Amino acid sequence: MNERLDSLLQRHEELSCLIQDPDLVKDQKKYREAMKEHARLSGIFEANKELVLLRGRIADTKGLIQNEKSGELCDLAREELAELEEKQTKVDEQLKTLLIPRDPLDEKNIIMEIRAGTGGEEAALFVADLFRMYSRFAETKNWKFEIMSLNETELGGYKEIVFSISGDNVYENLRYESGTHRVQRVPETESSGRVHTSALTVAVLPEAEETEIEIKPEDLRVDVMRAGGPGGQCVNTTDSAVRLTHLPTGLVVIQQDEKSQIKNKAKAMRVLRARLFELEENKKNAERSQTRKNQIGSGDRSERIRTYNFPQNRLTDHRVNLTLYKLDLIMQGDLEELFETLKLSAREELLTATAS
């Protein structure tokens, strides 16, 4: 850990000089990347600086206690020593957490897929509710989101909706949303007032760059067809819908929301690339240690991760045993406390795994 700390502190010093170079500003992409890395390493630099100062004060205080032996000044020094050592422990733990290698996927944009499961129309309505919840949270972060495709029901729900979210550290915040979400409430379609339980699945796919996932032309079958359902005057009059089949994996993506075949194909390629990237990441995860597999947020869509209980205004995340009695606010996008708890739990597990 000391070697890693020394390496990162040296990198922070290099970046401090680099970001003041006028030539770097000319390349805005490199400049932004350097500033982002410098900001992250500044946290490590400041924590280490505070730790060094605390160690010096602790050494001075211990020397004072040894010289005084007893008396009022010695008692005050002992009290100060206890406070300093407690603070040192906290800063030391903070620094250890900051030194955990950052997942390179954390800064990626995502494609999120929400699909209705058991519960029929009620599950479809909850898909729409979750989409609004995530989109409102995205607005608080100044993230951009774009609907890729949707399948709407008569009552305004969605059998499925696929959308992208882009911005700073999107995957870091939303990566633990993959899995089965269960809802308990009285459906709009229920006249007797009986509480129903429905479910839906969420998949969070880090969006891959073209350079990260190569899709060979010979591995791809492209079919065009006439779109169905809502879509404007071009629906059923032009072959605008696109179906992509990735032959090696059997993955199929259908896109028909745009009136343009070119736009539909571009969107379908983004989704296909993200799904192929997910397959590669799952393969890598399977090869890692059992400790890694046991961490929260495995991404398994069959894993029941959360229950939304509307009659009791209660949300329960089953992975971290967290219960919050503010479901009304959460559904409005107040997700910060939930996401911070999930991220903290993941960091603690990773820290334990790194130390063992």
Tokens 């406070």 belong to which residue? 83
pLDDT in tens, 295-337: 454 445 557 899 999 999 999 999 999 999 999 999 999 999 9
Assess contact for 111 and 163: CB atoms under 8 A: yes
CATH number, domain with residue 246:
3.30.160.20
Eight-class DSSP state of 209: P
Provide the domain count of the chain.
3
Going from the C-alpha of 350 to that of each of 104, 149, 259, 294, the distances in angstroms are 15, 36, 46, 10
Q: Over pLDDT 70: what percentage of the chain?
A: 90
Q: Is there a single domain that holds both residue 337 and residue 206? A: yes
Q: Is there a single domain that holds both residue 121 and residue 178? A: yes
Q: Is there a single domain that holds both residue 297 and residue 173? A: yes
Q: Is there a single domain that holds both residue 183 and residue 117? A: yes
pLDDT in tens, 112-160: 999 999 888 999 999 999 999 999 999 999 999 899 988 999 888 999 9
Domain of 263 in residue numbering reads as: 217-285
Q: Is there a single domain that holds both residue 138 and residue 91? A: no
The domain boundary residue, chosen from 64, 98, 132: 98
Q: Is there a single domain that holds both residue 157 and residue 295? A: yes
Q: What is the pLDDT along the chain (356 residues), one digit of tens a residue?
A: 678 889 899 999 999 999 998 888 888 888 888 888 898 899 999 999 999 999 999 999 998 888 877 778 888 988 999 999 999 999 988 888 788 777 888 889 999 999 999 888 999 999 999 999 999 999 999 999 899 988 999 888 999 999 999 998 899 999 999 999 999 998 876 767 788 899 999 999 999 887 788 899 999 999 988 776 544 444 445 678 899 999 999 999 988 888 888 899 999 999 999 999 988 888 877 665 443 444 454 445 557 899 999 999 999 999 999 999 999 999 999 999 999 999 888 888 877 766 65
Handedness of CA 344, 346, 349, 353 (dihedral sign): negative
Assess contact for 104 and 95: CB atoms under 8 A: no
Burial of 178 (0-12, 13-18, 19+ CB in 10 A): buried
CATH number, domain with residue 348:
3.30.70.1660
Q: Is there a single domain that holds both residue 196 and residue 313? A: yes
- The tokens describing 293, both together, are 């597999």
